[in-house]
Amino acid sequence: MRAVAIQTFGGPEGLAVIDLPVPRPSAGQVLIAAEAIGVGGVDAVIRRGTLAAYGFTTGHVPGGEIAGTVTAVGDGVDAAWVGRRVWGFAGLGGGYAELAVAPAESLVPLPAGLSPADAVTVGSSGAVAHFGLRRACFAPGQSVLVRGAAGGIGIIAVQLAARGGASAVAVTTSSAARGARLTALGATHVLDRAGQAAGDAPAGYDVIIDVAAGPDLPSFFSRLNPNGRMVAVGVIAGYPPPDFAGPMFAAFQKSMSFATFSTDTVPPAERRAATAELFAAAVRGELQAVVHDVLPLAQAVLAHQKMEAGQVFGRIVLVPERSGSDPRAIACAAIER
Ligand SMILES: NC(=O)c1ccc[n+]([C@@H]2O[C@H](COP(=O)([O-])OP(=O)(O)OC[C@H]3O[C@@H](n4cnc5c(N)ncnc54)[C@H](OP(=O)(O)O)[C@@H]3O)[C@@H](O)[C@H]2O)c1
């Protein structure tokens, strides 16, 4: 099968198309013939070599989020999955390929009316946004700020907060054009990355969902209202300064809270249920999947170049070409051997 692997750490051009044997699903796993593969920010982090100390070597196939058809199952997995169209989460690698293995416990059936590209756009980002807002104890009538709102997570957090009855949904973004697109999705106030608003904006927020973190985190934390909650769900701008708790203690009487949040701590059944509901909302037209671009798998380099250039609003999706042998047939042949 064809896959895209990291040949050299560094820039996007370190990615290359290679031939690999079709993976065999181990116990608890399924094999999926991909129709759509999500390109995530963490793929770029691994590609740069930032996580080399954690066992990511050259030869690694990036990509975690896939939608397609189950072609085989490992031991202990219900064979009824074979032939079903699903969304699956492979983890931190293996996704940029015609066929990928994923844990059966991650699978969510693709509902009629949801394209594979939309599924990999809403799937994992939607879960982060949903559970991040829940961790922040967001309730109707409260004001929300989403930092780093133009990415996959932020775009869905904005929509969920607006749909959930937020009194205000402020966003940070780097351009007026992106601000306009976020406004169309439910944002009520647009701030620049430093937090300056073009017009009026709330002086404080009950909830801050922060995808960026980095050196500016403390100044945003200071904008929490009394009893406000900031939940960091990403670190696009790097780690915050080690003394970032200073503003919390300087304003002790405001009873503010800070938390990190990862969907890794959500039990699989809860993740599946939340993802299925997000898919259903997308089918009903209540949630918009913002697909920035759909590119052939072989153009993974271009996908990463667009990410590096900061051009992406939403999600880039890779699609394996179907001009050669059908990967489902390849998979069956490999399993039969
Ligand atoms: N918590 C979890 O379970 C979980 C799961 C998956 C991924 N993640 C994390 O989520 C992050 C990726 O999220 P994503 O895909 O939604 O984001 P993304 O698309 O990588 O970035 C979102 C937006 O942040 C803005 N941004 C970029 N650099 C910034 C900076 N230095 N300061 C402020 N804003 C900046 C950019 O918009 P503008 O140019 O418009 O400002 C960008 O479009 C990663 O840190 C990843 O590790 C977390």
Please give the distance, rounded to the nearest whole angstrom, from the Cα atom of residue 41 to the centre of ligand 1: 7
Residue bearing the CA closest to ligand 1, atom 8: 234
Q: Average of pLDDT values for 299-304?
A: 98
Residues 6+ apart with CB under 8 A from 333: none
Residue bearing the CA closest to ligand 1, atom 22: 151
pLDDT band at 199 (very low <50, low <70, confident <90, very high): confident
- Spatial distance between the Cα atoms of 28 and 300, rounded to a whole number of angstroms: 29
Mutation to probe ligand 1, out of 50, 236, 262, 308 (largest number of atoms < 8 A from CB): 236
- For residue 248, the SS3 value is helix
Q: Is 235 in the pocket of ligand 1 (CB under 6 A)?
A: yes
Please give the distance, rounded to the nearest whole angstrom, from the Cα atom of residue 236 to the centre of ligand 1: 5
Give which of 284, 305, 285 is closest to 293, Cα–Cα.
305
pLDDT the model gives residue 80? 98
Ligand 1 atom, smallest distance to 41 CA: 20
Please give the distance, rounded to the nearest whole angstrom, from the Cα atom of residue 81 to the centre of ligand 1: 33
CATH 3.40.50.720 describes domain 124-264: yes
Residue bearing the CA closest to ligand 1, atom 11: 234
Residues 6+ apart with CB under 8 A from 76: 27, 28
Using CB atoms within 10 A of its CB, is residue 252 exposed (0-12), middle (13-18) or buried (19+)?
Answer: exposed
Please give the distance, rounded to the nearest whole angstrom, from the Cα atom of residue 335 to the centre of ligand 1: 39
Q: How would DSSP label each residue in 185-208?
A: TT--EEE-TTS-BSS---S-EEEE
CATH of 2-110+290-336, one of 3.40.47.10, 3.40.50.300, 1.10.3720.10, 3.90.180.10: 3.90.180.10
Please give the distance, rounded to the nearest whole angstrom, from the Cα atom of residue 313 to the centre of ligand 1: 11
- Asked if the model's pLDDT at residue 253 lies above 80, the reply is yes
- Spatial distance between the Cα atoms of 163 and 141, rounded to a whole number of angstroms: 11
User: Helix 176-184 to helix 152-163 angle, to the nearest 10 degrees?
Assistant: 40
- Asked if the model's pLDDT at residue 63 lies above 80, the reply is yes
- Spatial distance between the Cα atoms of 149 and 146, rounded to a whole number of angstroms: 5
Please give the distance, rounded to the nearest whole angstrom, from the Cα atom of residue 314 to the centre of ligand 1: 10
Please give the distance, rounded to the nearest whole angstrom, from the Cα atom of residue 80 to the centre of ligand 1: 37
Q: What is the pLDDT of residues 162-191, one digit of tens each?
A: 999 999 999 999 999 999 999 999 999 999
- Spatial distance between the Cα atoms of 87 and 35, rounded to a whole number of angstroms: 10
pLDDT the model gives residue 332? 43
When comparing pLDDT for 246 and 300, which is higher?
A: 300
Tell me how crowded residue 244 is: count the other CB atoms within 10 A of its CB.
Answer: 17
Measured CA distances, 76 to 7, 29, 72, 104 (Å): 35, 9, 12, 10
Please give the distance, rounded to the nearest whole angstrom, from the Cα atom of residue 172 to the centre of ligand 1: 11
Q: How would DSSP label each residue in 2-46?
A: EEEEESSSSSGGGEEEEE-PPPPP-TTEEEEEEEEEEE-HHHHHH
Q: Is 126 in the pocket of ligand 1 (CB under 6 A)?
A: no
Q: Is 128 in the pocket of ligand 1 (CB under 6 A)?
A: yes
- Spatial distance between the Cα atoms of 28 and 78, rounded to a whole number of angstroms: 9
Q: What is the pLDDT of residues 114-162, one digit of tens each?
A: 999 999 999 999 999 999 999 999 999 999 999 999 999 999 999 999 9
Mutation to probe ligand 1, out of 135, 153, 178 (largest number of atoms < 8 A from CB): 153
Q: Where are the domains of the chain?
A: 2-110+290-336, 124-264
- Spatial distance between the Cα atoms of 180 and 189, rounded to a whole number of angstroms: 10
Give residue 331's Cα distance to chain centre: 27
